Amino acid sequence: MRILLVAATEGEVAPVVTRFSEAARQGVRLTRYVFAGHEVHLLTTGVGMVATSAWCSRTLVEHSYAMALNVGVCGSFDRTLEPGTVVHTLSDRIVELGAEDDDRFLTIEELGLTDCDNTPYTRAELRNPSPPANDVLLKLPRVSGITVNTVHGNERSIAAVMQRFKPQVETMEGAAFMYACLIHGVQFAQVRAVSNFVEKRNRGAWKMSEALGNLAAVVGGILEAV
């Protein structure tokens, strides 16, 4: 089976890639590996929505895949999802897409620029309609996420986005990956490890090593269970 593994940075997948073998370059940002009897293509997109959507779409046009996995770290708004927890994001949305109206924020739906069910959106969200039926994936906490260009680190902005959208996690790439997979008709899953709570920036409280280690174990388990 050929599987696409998508990450923003090499560091986010480094612990799991050490278990792969037979590396070969497939393109500028694409590397082919073999693991658990599968051909795994690792796409390292770079950080952010623009890079992720562009490289994912290009790759999905040039190659066919039985499944795509987006992996990396995330911040958690949900205090029950402690740093180190690995989650499966089933819905995501781009919360900064809109306009300011003095102190109000207007979404593109409120601006009348699109409707909330304009493909690939469902009620203004990007939703995963049929994630892989994978035993390891099924055991992960299922969460809702938001994707941002600027990660939250201000108490007022955190309170505002929580009140408006009630997200559990945030990333800088998740929605872009989901958008690309939805329009290309590829079965997918977004799997993230919580590195920190979303709060006033406090790097001392982050658990990056633990998050990456747990992520590697889960990703390896997903691939072995396919």
Domain that residue 138 falls in: 2-225
pLDDT at 113: 87
Query: Model confidence over 34-53: pLDDT tens digits?
Result: 999 999 999 999 999 999 99
Here the tokens at position 66 are 């039985």
- Beta-bridged to residue 143, according to DSSP, are 89
Could you give the CA distance from residue 98 to residue 62 in angstroms, rounded to a whole number? 32
Q: How many domains does the chain have?
A: 1
Q: Which amino acid is at 82?
A: E
With a cut of 90, say whether residue 128 has pLDDT above it. Answer: yes
For the chain, give the mean pLDDT.
95
Could you give the CA distance from residue 72 to residue 86 in angstroms, rounded to a whole number? 10
Q: Which of 94, 154, 134, 142 is nearest to 219 (CA)?
A: 134
pTM, two decimals, is 0.95
- Beta-bridged to residue 198, according to DSSP, are none
Average pLDDT of span 164-191: 97
pLDDT at 81: 97
pLDDT at 17: 96
CB hemisphere CA count around 132 (13 angstroms): 24
- Beta-bridged to residue 156, according to DSSP, are none
Q: Percent of the chain beyond pLDDT 90?
A: 87
| Residues in Cβ contact with 212 at an 8 Å cutoff, skipping those fewer than 6 apart | 11, 12, 14, 15, 73, 193
Average pLDDT of span 113-142: 94
Here the tokens at position 80 are 């029950």
| Burial of 75 (C-beta count, 10 Å sphere; 0-12/13-18/19+) | buried
**What is the pLDDT confidence band of residue 221, given thresholds at 50, 70 and 90?**
very high
pLDDT at 27: 84
Q: How many CB atoms lie within 10 A of CB 190?
A: 31
**What is the pLDDT confidence band of residue 198, given thresholds at 50, 70 and 90?**
very high
With a cut of 90, say whether residue 114 has pLDDT above it. Answer: no
Q: Which of 51-65, 107-121, 162-176 has the lowest mean pLDDT?
A: 107-121
With a cut of 90, say whether residue 91 has pLDDT above it. Answer: yes
With a cut of 90, say whether residue 23 has pLDDT above it. Answer: no
pLDDT at 183: 97
Q: Which of 94-108, 175-189, 201-215 has the lowest mean pLDDT?
A: 94-108
- CATH number, position 106: 3.40.50.1580
pLDDT at 140: 98
Q: Which residue has the tokens 């958690």?
A: 76
